[in-house]
Amino acid sequence: MKRVLFLFSLWAALSAGAQTITYDTIRVSPDDERNIHLNRSRDVVVSSGSLPRENIHTAGRQPAAFDKSKLRFGANLGLSISRDYTNMGFGPQIGYQFNDYLMAGAGIKYYYTKARASQYEIRNNLLGANVFGYFYPVNFIALFAQPELNYIWSEMTSRTTKDSLTDKGVVPSLVVGAGFRLGRSHITLNYDLVQHANSPHPEGFYLGVSAFF
């Protein structure tokens, strides 16, 4: 009887051990969904491969470079009327404030002048285009440059014989200046480097005032 009990106990222990070993070492196909190593490797690939790729695309996106709030509008206006002299001018300009140190832009202008002398009446017309730039090394100092091309046609008429002489042509100018910045306005001392004989700018140094909004 003791031998039977011993054999039964030995058989039970071997059966339990065999079941445990079989459960831990079960063989499954590599594509089987019960393969926990396959599922674990897939999780690692997804978490490590997708996030850096999204970060790269996000970092490459830049905001729009053009900002409408940085546009600046100005105009040169002139009006002087008397018995023997008339001067009218209009010149819209548009600029862009790139940063705290630089504003640049372009403009057009038209001037009309009529003057009467004792013997002659002179009429001048000017149509021009320009580009300009203001550089601010410090907040209240302005350095100014404006190259421009002006087309001028003029007529001089004798008041007695009514004979007239006409003249026309393109006149280049390169105006530079330096002065003070007051908000969006400038007061500068300017000089035309070209000094063309028919330049619309005064000879030598002259005062310039501009305002932008």
Residues 92-105 have a mean pLDDT of 96
The string of DSSP codes covering 75-110 is EEEEEEE-SSEEEEEEEEEEEEEEETTEEEEEEEEE
183: left (phi over 0), alpha (psi -120 to 50) or beta: left
**Per-residue confidence (pLDDT) for residue 20, from 0 to 100:** 46
Q: Is residue 7 pLDDT above 60, yes or no?
A: no
Tokens 């008429």, residue located: 157
Where residue 39 falls among pLDDT bands split at 50, 70, 90?
low
79 or 94, higher pLDDT: 94
**Per-residue confidence (pLDDT) for residue 47, from 0 to 100:** 47
21: tokens are 């070993």
The reported pTM is: 0.65
Q: Are 141 and 114 in contact (CB under 8 A)?
A: no
